[in-house]
Amino acid sequence: MVLAAMLLPFLASAQMDAETPKGRFLRPTTRIGEIIEYELSYRHEPGLNVIFPDSTATYAPFEYVGKKYQPTRTRQGISLDRTVYQLRTFSLDSVQRLQLPVTILRGRDTLLVPSTVANVTLKRAVPQLADGATPTLRQNTVLLPVKPAFNYPYWLAGATLLLLVLGGAALVFGRRWRQRYQLYKVRKNHVYFLAQYARHVERFTLSRSLTNMERAITLWKNYLTNLENNTISSLTTREIVAHYQNDADVRLALRLADRVIYGNQFSEDDTETDLAFDLLRSFAERRFELVRQRLEN
């Protein structure tokens, strides 16, 4: 009696270890290419290390699509592992079978335990013909609409060719185009300067306001700054005269303008102020001609 009681746990353990994994299809029938679910479950003792097949296993005659597994559940001293596999078949056998092994790890040893054999019946869409019989073909010559496909290779080749042509044109004519564009901007800015300058001079003549004269001088400085890319807009009268190599027209015009603006010395007539305005406009036109000739050559 004592010996039998001592052997009972080992016998129970051996019985649980010997239990066969259960494999079954969740549907009795399937079609070619249709996904069918196959369930593999195994009840075992809690301390057993069990590994179920993964995507690298052999599922012939089926193909592996995916799987869904559940965590191990242990109740009343028995653990349950369960996995549902998504499979599909392209075999034409009427009845197809599948038997997957479960791997059990015992230290350094590995034990493969095959599951029960599961069967599924292939449901044919076309009735099976007798040997040597030819199926009846059904003719259908109605054209189906086909959506035009975008021809990427030709468009890419065309875009590449266009970029090459534009790049070559830029290399050959780029400098000339830049010169023409610069010349266009210089002419446009010069016309704008002459119109604004004439407006300030006219306002000064009518109002004798120093503000209008200062605006005309400031416009002249800013125009030459942009035209020649220099900094005379921030220079004093002496520095501007030195910058233009002591030009007689610039020296006289700025001296007359400073005497009126800073010395508030108006003459009886407008001869001196008119002369200052004329000299500044004439000098700006001469500098414009130098820049224009440089761009055209």
Q: Residue 21 corresponds to which tokens in the numbers above? A: 């994994």
Nearest 5 degrees, angle CA 165-CA 168-CA 171? 150
What percent of the chain is predicted at pLDDT more than 70?
90
Q: Please state, in angstroms and rounded to a whole number, the distance separating the CA atoms of residues 296 and 186.
A: 12
Using an 8 Å Cβ cutoff, are 99 and 23 in contact? Answer: yes
Within 8 A by CB and 6+ apart from 129, the residues are: 135
Q: Tell me the CA end-to-end span of the chain in Å, nearest whole number.
A: 123
Q: How confident is the model at residue 189 (pLDDT cuts 50, 70, 90)?
A: very high
Segment 63-118, tens digit of pLDDT? 999 999 889 999 998 999 999 999 999 998 999 999 999 999 988 888 999 999 99
Note the pLDDT of residue 80: 94
Q: How confident is the model at residue 266 (pLDDT cuts 50, 70, 90)?
A: low
- Beta-sheet pairing, 29-30 with 118-122: parallel
Using an 8 Å Cβ cutoff, are 113 and 21 in contact? Answer: yes
Taken in order 259, 260, 262, 263, the sign of the CA dihedral is positive
Q: How confident is the model at residue 3 (pLDDT cuts 50, 70, 90)?
A: very low
Note the pLDDT of residue 263: 73
Statement: residue 17 has pLDDT above 50: no
Statement: residue 15 has pLDDT above 80: no
Statement: residue 13 has pLDDT above 70: no
Note the pLDDT of residue 177: 75
Segment 219-256, tens digit of pLDDT? 999 999 999 888 888 898 899 999 999 999 999 999 98
Within 8 A by CB and 6+ apart from 213, the residues are: 200, 204, 257, 260, 261, 273
32-41, 44-53, 68-77, 263-272, range with greatest mean pLDDT: 32-41
Statement: residue 290 has pLDDT above 80: yes
Segment 155-168, tens digit of pLDDT? 999 999 999 888 87
Note the pLDDT of residue 16: 43
Note the pLDDT of residue 131: 72
Residue 161 dihedral angles phi and psi, to the nearest 5°: -65, -40
Q: Please state, in angstroms and rounded to a whole number, the distance separating the CA atoms of residues 176 and 106.
A: 85
Q: How confident is the model at residue 38 (pLDDT cuts 50, 70, 90)?
A: very high
Using an 8 Å Cβ cutoff, are 100 and 57 in contact? Answer: yes
Q: In this structure, which topology does domain 10-122 adopt according to CATH? A: Immunoglobulin-like (2.60.40)
Q: Please state, in angstroms and rounded to a whole number, the distance separating the CA atoms of residues 236 and 164.
A: 51
Task: Determine which helix (DSSP H) or strand (DSSP E) holds 196, and give its type and residue range.
Answer: helix 152-207
Domain locations in the chain as residue ranges: 10-122, 172-296
Kindly report the length of the chain.
297
Note the pLDDT of residue 174: 67
Residue 64: strand pairing partners: 87
Note the pLDDT of residue 109: 87
Q: Write out 56-81 in H/E/C secondary structure.
A: CCCCCCEEEEEEEEEEEEEECCEEEE
- Beta-sheet pairing, 109-114 with 101-106: antiparallel
Note the pLDDT of residue 196: 94
Task: Name which residue leads in pLDDT, 44 or 172.
Answer: 44
